[in-house]
Amino acid sequence: MLESFAKKKISMKKYNFFNKNLIFAFLIFSVSIFAEDTKDAKKLTTLKANEFTINYDSVSIIEYIQFVSKVCSVNFIYTAADLNFTISITSKEPITKQSVMSSLMQVLRANGLYLVEDGSSIIISKSEDIIEAAPIVEKGTKDIKNPIITRIFSINNVSPEAVFTIIKAMVSKTALIELLTPTRQLILTDVVMNVEKITQLIENLDRAKSPLVIETYTITANASSTLISLAKEIMSPMIAGNPYLLIPQDSTRKIFIVSTPALATKTLSVFKSLDIKPEAEVKTLENQQIFIYKPVNRTQKDLKNALEDISSNLKKDGMPQAGLIEAIDNMKWISETNSFVFSATDATIAKLQKVLQGLDTPVSKEPSFFLYNLRYVSGDKIEDDLDELASKFKDQDVKDQNLLDVLQTAKWIKETNSILLTGDSTAIEEVKNIISQYDSIKQSKVNFFIYTPKHATLNDLDIYLTDVAKNFKSSGLADPELIDAIHSKRVVSSINSIIFTGAEETLTKVKSLLGSYDVSKEGMFKGTFLMLTPTHVTLDDVENAFKDISSHLKSSGLADQPLLEAIASMRAVPTTNSIIFTGDDDTLKKIDTLFNSINAPTSKQAIQELGKTNFWIYQIQKATPTQITTSIKSITADLANIDSSDKAFISALKSMKYVKETNSIIFVGTPNALKKIEPLVQKFDIAPEKGAVQSSYYVYKPIHLTGPELECILCEFAENLKVSNLENEPLYETIESMKYSEQTNTLVFTGEPDAITEIKNLLQSFDVTDSSHPSTQEISGLEDLGFLVYKLQYHKGDEIQGALKQIGQDLKTPDEETATKSKLVSSIDSLQWIKITNSLLCTGDKETLAKMKELLSSLDVPLKQVFIEILVIQTTLTNVLSFGLDWGSKFQYKDQAVLGVNNFQQSSPLATPFNKITNTVTPKGTDLSLGDGFNLGVIGDILFHKGKSFLSLASLLSALQKDTETSIVLTPKIIAQDGKTATIFSGQNIPYTGSIIQNQGANTSTSTNLEYRDVGTNLSITPILGNSDSISLNITLETSATPDTANNTVQLGNITGITTTKTNMTTSVQLANKNFLVLSGMVTDTKNRAKTGIPCLGGIPIIGAAFSKDDDQNSRNNIVIFIRPHII
């Protein structure tokens, strides 16, 4: 470092000496040299030891060098041709040897010469290639003989960069100065006098001086936040740019003041004046007022709790609002008027009104929704973290109910690994910020650790670690990194290992936990061992059964500890399909007894009966499904050709079906036939030979079609091949082994390698785009401009376009945004909906189009659907009773007098024909019109005096009773999307005359407009899906009908209308999935009674029936609705 430092110091250029910085540095640090004016000779006068007075006038530089050599005892090596110039020196005061040497070196530098110190000699040269490191001289060294030195300075208090900047401007360019920032050191190489002056300057600059003081105030009555807020407001005019910090420490009720002494003293005085208890308001009869407030939007409970919280917080903060606190504490609730009553002064009531206006705000009924796409963390982990955070907020008595609601209703969408947030928009923004803190790459997890168990099983270790993490959480262990590292475990069964991720220190703790558990169990049980091989159940079933037995024995208080220990020693050996126990002989006998009861033939292995059908299920153990099915089919064909006497046995063999989900075979037939099949199948269930083709597997991720669609296509393809009698059992077996995983969206195949190869070719042929699965295309454009055509699958383009356009408007701000944001906004503005193909077209660069594609795919997701079963029962009961007597009489005497009397009711059928009867018009048979029910009528006409007098009589007795019962049952079943309205109508479309238009002229034309009205039952349902399988239903029911009477039409001039009855209901309910909703109580009970007759006479008992008519009508209408929604 010093060598390179010296190189830089020696390498000087000629033109670097005549700038302003050099002159400035020369004036400050060079020692003034005084010389007396002498023309003929040089004069040296020694005043004190090592001090001189020098006077030179136009003397050759070589002569001056010789002088300095004698005075300073330094040898100079130079070339005379390089020193072809003269100098003049005048000295008025004595100077030292160091000053003489410094002045000479400055003169040589000014003339473009370079100096190299070589021991006690100095080389003067014009070459820059000669390098010699200057010696390091510490501060305080006396009798410095070297003209050029190096010194290292340590900067302690001030900024090293600031000192470097100051010194750099004050020294010449030939001097070397460097700053070592990490160690706060400054290195300087220059002539001795300059270095000494710089040393003094740095010492003066690097002094620890601070104009600030720290004072402490102890709080007595008020809250720290209140005092700090008021003090800052009071002291703001006096701060004047000085440092001013007020730091609270609530645990000790202290406030630390960091500022100048004067400001700190004044602040202490302000705190003492402010930190007093608030005085209560002075109550008098004149200033006390009564204030009554009636809640408008919020409930009494909500307002009361909010006011009590405000009072509590004011008391804690020490706010000088004693009147407001007292008014809230003394408030009264009047239930009769549903209002609050307060007693306070006018000023306090004004404050109280503002508080109540801020609290009694409308409740938002339409929650907002936001889908947060996670990037780094799984959604189930975020969901658990949010639930835990909500619990902590409740424990800490957080009052923001909107925030708690959003945290508690957050739901993980597994398919898209996103979190759905519903609730208040402000609370959603806060939760989004919280999730962003969780959804980040943890920098501490930079290491991983793979652990291979030595004695314990992977399952035991997994259960052990899960219990440890759970106990850590419940015990309040303050080591979240250890808990996270345990949760990060991933069990890899293929390599019999567990992988952990976390910090190195955390992984060390995990290793310690594993080492303490994964120890050898040898020596725990002394005695023998027992190996058992299950024949009717699996190893997992045996293990689970023994674990359940052990759990029940422990809970029952069994004292047989050797038996419990023997069960705990259980180890499964999959390679031999056996299970091993250790213990003493008596205990192993008990184990054997328990095992025999567990290893009994299960319902799957025994012959079962379902109704009149017997079936037998065989679980394949060793052979492949193709091997068994092929063998049985061959045997069945041979038996059918050789001996067909046992038809039941052959029929049972032909009924064989393979179930790939359980890897089992089902036979259907008689019990005797199934018993014969059992030993036959067991003989075929043998392991394949060693030389047989080994199975392989293949995992395929669908590209264009979905996994279930590919499953259907492959199964249909296999069925078609079988129908065509194509023999390819390995391919059929591979297709039957197909499994689809929704979690990873992959298809898994197992089978022979050749069959796997055929499957790959088939998948490439089937998994292609078609009209129902169009792909999103990016079309190249001009230079960096491209086009994106996105085919929407589930929504109309105008809906998504409108939403994105609104987002684009919100993203536009008057401030300049980043380029990425501007490109995204421009791409959103360019979005166009192609209606004919329901596609969206936009432009932008490749990166922006990728973001647009991701945004569109997250919006174009299918809505959930609800299958709704509806049962509507409408019952109508009608009872009509009508009884009456109509009669009338007319008399004419010799064309001189006429007399008439009648008891005709309104709309009586006798009135019109009877009025037509005269002495010349006689009754006819058509004049007597009989209606419904019982009718007895007569019309007669008697003539006198040669037709000049006549007597006419008419009477009609009618009686009718009518009972009607109507039941209408509607059982519609509909499927509706989330938030979409579904409507059902059942009834009639009845025509009526809407208008009549007549054109008067030479030819009159009449136009009649016929209109239609829906009469019946109209049901509209809008389902809204919530969290936890809850469904909100908005239901609108409207029922209309035409009355079953003769007066069901309305006549207005020439226009005939219709009369309808109408009943409607609108409601909103919330219920769980697959639950029933019953809507009833829509009962209408109508009673109509009409009596017409002659006054007085019609009211006489018995006789009054001849002079009146009674009409009674009773009707009852009832509607009951059953609704059952089912989320699909």
The model's pLDDT over 448-501, given as tens digits with 9 standing for 90+, comes to: 677 887 767 777 788 888 877 777 666 555 566 777 788 778 776 655 678 787
- Domain covering 447-517: architecture: 2-Layer Sandwich (3.30)
Q: What local confidence, expressed as pLDDT, does residue 608 receive? A: 66
Mean pLDDT value of segment 1102-1117: 76
Identify the top-confidence range among 155-169, 255-269, 545-559, 628-642. 255-269
**368-438 is classed CATH 3.40.50.300:** no
Q: What local confidence, expressed as pLDDT, does residue 556 receive? A: 60
Q: Which CATH class is domain 608-684?
A: alpha beta
Q: Which two tokens stand for residue 439?
A: 């959804």
More confident residue, 40 or 413: 413
What's the topology of domain 528-598? Answer: Ribosomal Protein S8; Chain: A, domain 1 (3.30.1370)
Over 80: is that where the pLDDT of 1068 sits? yes
* Of 880-884, 886-890, 1044-1048, the least confident: 1044-1048
Q: What local confidence, expressed as pLDDT, does residue 276 receive? A: 78
Considering the domain 289-359 in this protein, what is its CATH number? 3.30.1370
Looking at residue 866, its amino acid is: V
Considering the domain 777-861 in this protein, what is its CATH number? 3.30.1370.120
Confidence of residue 166 (pLDDT cuts 50, 70, 90): confident
Cα separation, 498 vs 958, whole angstroms = 98
Count CB neighbours of 452 within 10 A.
Answer: 11
Over 80: is that where the pLDDT of 234 sits? yes
Cα separation, 1060 vs 116, whole angstroms = 122
- pLDDT tens string 320-361: 566 778 888 888 887 767 788 788 887 788 888 888 877 777
Over 90: is that where the pLDDT of 917 sits? no
More confident residue, 583 or 32: 583
**696-766 is classed CATH 3.30.1370.120:** yes
Confidence of residue 40 (pLDDT cuts 50, 70, 90): very low
- pLDDT tens string 416-435: 778 888 887 778 888 888 88
Over 60: is that where the pLDDT of 675 sits? yes
Residue 584: partners with Cβ closer than 8 Å, 6 or more residues away: 526, 527, 528, 562
What average pLDDT does the structure give for the chain?
75
Confidence of residue 926 (pLDDT cuts 50, 70, 90): low
Mean pLDDT value of segment 932-960: 65
Same fold, 2-205 and 777-861: no
**Continuous H helices in 475-608:** 480-487, 504-517, 539-555, 561-568, 585-598
Confidence of residue 523 (pLDDT cuts 50, 70, 90): very low
Domain ranges for the chain, please list them. 2-205, 213-274, 289-359, 368-438, 447-517, 528-598, 608-684, 696-766, 777-861, 883-961, 962-1094+1112-1127
Cα separation, 368 vs 61, whole angstroms = 92
Phi, psi of 217 (to 5 degrees): -120, 135
Mean pLDDT value of segment 525-545: 75
- Could you say which of 3.90.190.20, 3.30.470.30, 3.30.1370.120, 1.10.8.350 is the CATH number of the domain covering 213-274? 3.30.1370.120
Count CB neighbours of 115 within 10 A.
Answer: 23
Confidence of residue 1034 (pLDDT cuts 50, 70, 90): very high
Confidence of residue 70 (pLDDT cuts 50, 70, 90): confident
875 CA to centre of own chain:
49
Q: What local confidence, expressed as pLDDT, does residue 29 receive? A: 40
Q: How far is CA 873 from CA 488, 1070, 1120, 1121, 1123, in A?
A: 58, 22, 5, 6, 12
Considering the domain 2-205 in this protein, what is its CATH number? 3.55.50.30
Contact of 123 with 108, CB cutoff 8 Å? no
Q: What local confidence, expressed as pLDDT, does residue 1022 receive? A: 93
Q: What local confidence, expressed as pLDDT, does residue 973 receive? A: 86
Q: What local confidence, expressed as pLDDT, does residue 1023 receive? A: 92
Q: What local confidence, expressed as pLDDT, does residue 23 receive? A: 42
Q: What angle do CA 818, 822, 824 make, to 5 degrees?
A: 120
More confident residue, 767 or 120: 767
Q: What local confidence, expressed as pLDDT, does residue 105 receive? A: 76
Confidence of residue 1052 (pLDDT cuts 50, 70, 90): low
pTM over 0.75: no
Confidence of residue 6 (pLDDT cuts 50, 70, 90): very low
Cα separation, 132 vs 36, whole angstroms = 36
Mean pLDDT value of segment 1018-1023: 90
Mean pLDDT value of segment 566-579: 82
